[in-house]
Structure 1
């Protein structure tokens, strides 16, 4: 779609950038900055929902900047897939900002945290809306800069250690990504997604695609380069941690889905076995890491890794149903994982620690919180009728239908390990008595409202999956359509 409405393709970048600038200007007045940040988050969600509606009714948005002839301009393309990802990202960002305002393990509002959060969202929105490879790299770098700032903003030694790991592994991924982009450009003379989809195959292009795939797998925290995630994430304040957990690795999966589902669909046949093996290793490594640890944040961080394995497996299936499963699973997991980290902060508020060996009695002290935890926890395991059941069912059904019995068996085994670690959290944090009972902390209404909302969405998707199933199918079908 061209014309005035096409300018909406820039909204996922411009609205968060406006929020970042406003928070910088109000840095000396933290309460006003926090209020403005919430308004900016709400505006971002409302605009994202508008974009989603316009794309659903009138088709993809196309906007070329710089007055350059296609395909050489800076192009923004928002189709169903990118519009859906932008909308769910804006929702999670707003929920995390509300949780931040509730002051449950918050980021320091007198620091640069709020501008960096909105800067991070600008990078996420740009990555979802861009229509060419080089600008995808640019938005990855915007995300990386904002993420590094958020990792170090508390100035703790533990944070610096995690930040160094995050920086080194992500910079390696960035170097591989830039090299891959250069090779692809050398082979085709193009960087635009739609133009690349029409480029003839060549050995040089195949080498470039291989480098891009490795880079996106690294950005997604796939095996064996996932250690930066559990090493870095646990040092973050709860609202920022939930935002990282919900979004950052999913951008890597999104890029992988674009790469093989739309830009170079013929290349996936050569990568299917590799992607399947990486998916299996990622699932099992993440689930085993979660089973080993006792820190609630580390357990949940390792579960991000294991669930990324499911998403890579769905991409590896290389069928429209597999891509639809990847889209459904991604949206489900963004909501569930962000909620689990927010709930973990509330558990710490009630019981006094994130260490499962030092806490207990949360179910007796806060039974409503126990019920809220059960919804995303059971959904992560894949228990019906929650959203995770449908997500795993789609992946498993397509795996077995395609004869990929080892992949499907590994996914089932990972589900059993996930059940074990979620049961460990329930028994240690919620069920057993607290080893040293202390005064129960008050749970702010805004924080509880945030986790209740996400739990309700999880249950709603599970009970009424048809809407998201239909959307995922349409978005997957749109991947193979010509974008211009």
Structure 2
């Protein structure tokens, strides 16, 4: 029986009635692609020889989708898709802006490089344990974290990438991998628990989990009791990003898995923590960031300086690279602590540089160990004579990781030092320079001992060659590092747009609430 007109319901008050445009689908397609590709790979779990031919094209398509997404938000501003057609803040929102699209694109590029590198690094046995399905699931979690507009959904995507990273970490089931996985798991589960507690506390204060909605309320009611909440978020994301004093898990675990896994972890996972810290503290709780900036600045200084000293002390080149990753985290936290546009631009620029450079640096470290027959600086040497082209590529990446010109790491460090001095953080600028000096010594020591010093008297390892699948991603990533070092203005334009959108989130909020906002 037909409903009475008196009982008719205006669904437009609760639902989005307009059809979804093709452009809006770009906000969800990167995540959907990763999940679908991972499911297809599981269907072919008995044909692991086909896995690279499924995963590599899928990741190539992911790079294309993220490029289109970045172009869309640069031209038309942030865009939002809400699950179930429910209007925000009730529907789970996926909101894409320049910051999220930039990080998602960088993640897709290094994942594609890793999938190609794995052709020479991951054997059939490890493929049977699910390397490529875990890789696609990892990218689903990373992409979801960068593109979500709901803070509980951010927690969910953290869980997705955490589960997949466990699987990647123990591929091979060696004793040192299981030991590293235990340390990694315990500390990250503690961080995840703190994150969940912070989310519950946030909901108790604001009554919503939509990031745009929270940002509006925080600006409209600056007297809300959010200081404890801010400290919880800083601690949780600091643990995820491997910041002092909760960073000891990273050098104890990142050297244990396969080279390609170490590269992806070093390039991606800690940056998700930095991204979440920027999104929450700068866009959602800016007043609390101003009150806690000194805490973040002190943590940044200790993170980079102590990590630089740790890098110098290492004899295992894989462990040394783990400390170099932590030095970069300190630099990014310094930009967040400063909080000015230039400081945040330096932090975002450094994060994008680190995603590319740290992945490539782990790759060349693994290849160096493969060529030399070990990773201990006490035993290996002579790589310059046996593989001069590889030594040249390694040296360029060492310069880039140390922040020396003409590579991409120089510009964000210069921006951070300038922003520190302009904001009265002279001691923080000194910390950045001292850490950079120590990291140069640590990386130079590796080159002198492992590459320049003649090989020892022990019998040399059997002749090993680097395959094209291993060369190609390293050279491609190095080309990006060199390009953005020589022509930084291209990336600075994107970074400036991303930071402007975070500091002034009117466009972000308007994309979620078209009929209201700031």
- Identify the residue that residue 330 of structure 1 maps to in structure 2: 351
- Identify the residue that residue 41 of structure 1 maps to in structure 2: 59
Cα contact 1:382–1:388 (8 A) shared by 2: yes
**CA pair 129-95 structure 1, distance change in 2 beyond 3 A:** same
1:152, 1:349 → 2: CA distance?
20
Cα contact 2:78–2:97 (8 A) shared by 1: yes
- Identify the residue that residue 158 of structure 1 maps to in structure 2: 176
- Identify the residue that residue 147 of structure 1 maps to in structure 2: 165
Cα contact 2:171–2:258 (8 A) shared by 1: no
Pick from 418, 428, 433 the counterpart of residue 449 of structure 2: 428
Q: Which runs of 5+ in 2 are unaligned?
A: 1-17, 511-518
Per-residue Cα deviation, 1:297-345 (whole angstroms, up to 9, x for no partner): 1000011111100000011011111111111111111111000000011
Q: State the 1:107 CA deviation.
A: 7.7
- Identify the residue that residue 69 of structure 2 maps to in structure 1: 51
1:396 matches 2:417: yes
Cα contact 1:104–1:346 (8 A) shared by 2: no
1:406 matches 2:427: yes
User: For 2:342, what is the secondary structure of its paired residue?
Assistant: helix
The answer to which of 192-201 and 246-255 deviates more is 192-201
Cα contact 2:121–2:258 (8 A) shared by 1: no
1:121 matches 2:139: yes
1:210 matches 2:231: yes
2:471, 2:170 → 1: CA distance?
28
Pick from 7, 26, 48 the counterpart of residue 30 of structure 1: 48
Pick from 272, 276, 290 the counterpart of residue 311 of structure 2: 290
Q: State the 1:105 CA deviation.
A: 7.7
What do you get for the CA RMSD once the two structures are aligned? 1.5
Q: How do 1:244-393 residues align onto structure 2 when only pairs under 5 Å count?
A: 244-393=265-414
- Identify the residue that residue 87 of structure 1 maps to in structure 2: 105
Per-residue Cα deviation, 1:7-47 (whole angstroms, up to 9, x for no partner): 11112211111221111111111111121111111111111
1:379, 1:431 → 2: CA distance?
19
Cα contact 2:296–2:333 (8 A) shared by 1: yes
Cα contact 2:226–2:288 (8 A) shared by 1: no
2:410, 2:261 → 1: CA distance?
27
- Identify the residue that residue 61 of structure 1 maps to in structure 2: 79
Pick from 459, 464, 479 the counterpart of residue 441 of structure 1: 464
**CA pair 441-106 structure 1, distance change in 2 beyond 3 A:** farther
Q: State the 1:138 CA deviation.
A: 0.4
User: For 1:385, what is the secondary structure of its paired residue?
Assistant: coil
User: For 1:4, what is the secondary structure of its paired residue?
Assistant: coil
Q: State the 1:403 CA deviation.
A: 1.3
1:234, 1:312 → 2: CA distance?
23
1:156, 1:346 → 2: CA distance?
19
User: For 2:226, what is the secondary structure of its paired residue?
Assistant: helix
Cα contact 1:234–1:298 (8 A) shared by 2: yes
2:231, 2:369 → 1: CA distance?
43
1:109 matches 2:127: yes
Cα contact 1:183–1:204 (8 A) shared by 2: no
- Identify the residue that residue 259 of structure 2 maps to in structure 1: 238
2:162, 2:464 → 1: CA distance?
35
Q: State the 1:206 CA deviation.
A: 2.4
Cα contact 1:165–1:231 (8 A) shared by 2: yes
1:103, 1:419 → 2: CA distance?
28
2:74, 2:396 → 1: CA distance?
30
Per-residue Cα deviation, 1:433-462 (whole angstroms, up to 9, x for no partner): 111333331110121111111111101101
Q: State the 1:207 CA deviation.
A: 1.9
- Identify the residue that residue 75 of structure 1 maps to in structure 2: 93
With the length of structure 2 as denominator, give the TM-score of the two structures.
0.91
User: For 2:85, what is the secondary structure of its paired residue?
Assistant: coil
1:227, 1:107 → 2: CA distance?
31
Q: State the 1:349 CA deviation.
A: 1.8
**CA pair 188-234 structure 1, distance change in 2 beyond 3 A:** same
User: For 2:25, what is the secondary structure of its paired residue?
Assistant: helix
1:32, 1:300 → 2: CA distance?
32
1:467 matches 2:490: yes
- Identify the residue that residue 193 of structure 2 maps to in structure 1: 175
Q: Which runs of 5+ in 1 are unaligned?
A: none
Q: State the 1:237 CA deviation.
A: 0.5
Structure 1 runs, 4 residues or longer, greater than 4 Å off:
104-107
Larger Rg: 2
The answer to which of 54-63 and 396-405 deviates more is 54-63
Per-residue Cα deviation, 1:405-440 (whole angstroms, up to 9, x for no partner): 110101111011101110111011110011133333
Pick from 456, 468, 479 the counterpart of residue 479 of structure 2: 456
2:87, 2:58 → 1: CA distance?
34
Cα contact 2:171–2:257 (8 A) shared by 1: no
1:150, 1:350 → 2: CA distance?
24
1:337, 1:459 → 2: CA distance?
14
Matched length: 484
Q: State the 1:358 CA deviation.
A: 1.1
With the length of structure 1 as denominator, give the TM-score of the two structures.
0.97
